[in-house]
Amino acid sequence: MTIAIFLGSLLAAMALGVPIAFSLLLCGAALMLHLNMFDAQILAQNVMEGANSFPLLAVPFFMLAGEIMNAGGLSRRIVNFAMALVGHVRGGLGYVTIVAAVIMASLSGSAVADAAALTALLLPMMIAAGHDRGRSAGLIASAGIIAPIIPPSIGFVIFGVAGGVSISKLFMAGIFPGVWLALSLVATWWWLVRKDAITPPPRKSFAEVIEAMRLATWALVLPFIIVFGLKFGVFTPTEAAVVAAVYSLFVSVFVYRELNFKKLVPLFVSAAVTCSVVMFLVAAAMVSAWLITVANLPAQVVELMQPLLGSPKLLMLAIMVLTMVVGTALDMTPTILLLTPVLMPVIKAAGIDPVYFGVLFIINNAIGLITPPVGTVLNAVAGVGKMGMDEVTKGVVPFMIAQFAAMFLMIAFPQLVMVPARWFY
């Protein structure tokens, strides 16, 4: 009955068009009424406590770092460097997109910010070169979702807080899976463009490659600083977010000199607005998370999944399919906040490593950003590229299938995630 009330109230509110944050609050109120413990003061206290978390301070700083990176010239220099490396091969602009997405993912952790920047920089070039517009937009969207997987990752921060899992270990465990997803895009793009009559840009000389690398060096150094600092305990994930924001600000203002005080103010405002939406969503979801615990909902879910507890791979498969379905209707953040407190007891009961589960769970949620009809990244690419959603959706399908295939391969062979993860941390 509790599960029915929880899901029914949430889905009913969403069906009426209530914003997801307020839907979560209504869901929490419905559960409180069902448990005969409704108290507006307790509701308000849990909203306040939901955002009162030191690790969650990483979210605004990573968002700010992404805004500064895109406006301060770091993104453009990364794209130019990738262009110098692989732009000359057949379908080279697609490989430039993937390489640039991986590098940018290690700077910001925001899929929407990375996808928007890549769309503005590369989509016109790909169309001008003769590539199919929908396919190009689909590649950019699917490359953009690597951002929540390769550290630093806002998704890992939120999951780590909601599930009580080490964020540093999640960051380290996400490196290889992020590269694996990028390789799946490389293979798919190669297959799709192998017969296209596209004339690639001319090969850059060695001197031009070195010059492009020199210009991008300041941007390329940041991922190594973050990984080194986390691996050797120099700073926490929250402090890493501050380092990323301050470093990006320093490089943009004093090195590349593309930002000044007048340009900084709108960036801070934009980051604050985006962050306020996310943090209110987190705060609202924490009310439901607390009531889920009070109502003993996880124990009921564990009992329902009892037949699968003896087979971790089958259980993971079932959970991933469930997450895929939820991801078509909900954005990444609410999906993490809703499902994590329910699924973590199931994962622990089955003896599955929480870090391994976290990586697969975030990968699934990241792919959900390009699954219609919600698809936040799809909307961002369509908006920046001034295209219809149907065209972008059609173009993203082969890449989305490739990334899901890579994810299911990691379910079949957990060593693909855990062996590199243990080496990194």
The pTM for the full model equals 0.85
pLDDT score of 365: 92
Could you write out the DSSP letters of every residue in 88-135?
A: TSTTHHHHHHHHHHHHHHTT---HHHHHHHHHHHHHHHHHHTT--HHH
Residues (pLDDT < 70) of the chain are: 1-3, 7, 42, 50, 54, 291-302, 373-374, 424-425
Give Cα 314 to chain centroid, integer Å: 25
Residue 359 pLDDT: 95
pLDDT recorded at residue 185: 95
Q: What is the pLDDT of residue 52?
A: 72
Q: What is the pLDDT of residues 97-137, one digit of tens each?
A: 999 899 888 877 778 888 888 888 888 888 888 888 999 99
For residues 99-136, b (16+ Cβ closer than 10 Å) or e, as one string? bbbbbbbbbbbbbbbbbbbbbebbbebbeebebbebbb
